[in-house]
Amino acid sequence: DVKVTQSSRYLVKRTGEKVFLECVQDMDHENMFWYRQDPGLGLRLIYFSYDVKMKEKGDIPEGYSVSREKKERFSLILESASTNQTSMYLCASSISGLLYEQYFGPGTRLTVT
């Protein structure tokens, strides 16, 4: 069974703080993704990585950065958190060549106050 884990289920941060969301997968997948999920908007892709140290911007990269130093780990960074970044963040992974068959973690609900 593929397992994608996220470091926190719930997180509360203050405006202006630097926030790190961590994601780890245990199936040696090449591709990893970060999405944010908002009611009525579905999932929107923030960033995508297809290999270590490689990344591609998704639909809404503004205000976010990512880091992938090891194949199993993909971090999402909010350099200076703002209230409009309050959301559910989902991490996913997939094998190379099957970009669309993604395995998701349980999500991190981030609240920025």
Partner 1 sequence: AQSVTQLDSQVPVFEEAPVELRCNYSSSVSVYLFWYVQYPNQGLQLLLKYLSGSTLVKGINGFEAEFNKSQTSFHLRKPSVHISDTAEYFCAVSVFLSSGSARQLTFGSGTQLTVLP
Q: Which residues pair with 57 in a beta bridge?
A: 47
* Pick 18 or 57: Cβ nearer partner 1: 57
Among 50, 67, 72, 95, binds partner 1 (CB under 8 A): 50
Please give the residues from 3 up to 22 whose contact with partner 1 meets the rule CB under 8 A. 4
Find, among 62, 88, 64, the residue nearest to 8 by Cα.
88
61 sits near partner 1 (criterion: CB under 8 A): no
Q: Is 89 exposed, middle or buried (0-12, 13-18, 19+ CB in 10 A)?
A: buried
CB 93 within 8 A of CB 33: yes
The length of the chain is 113
- Under rule CB under 8 A, residue 44 binds partner 1: yes
**Least Å from the CB of residue 85 to partner 1:** 19
Residues that bind partner 1 (CB under 8 A): 4, 31, 40-45, 48, 50, 56, 58, 90, 92, 99-107
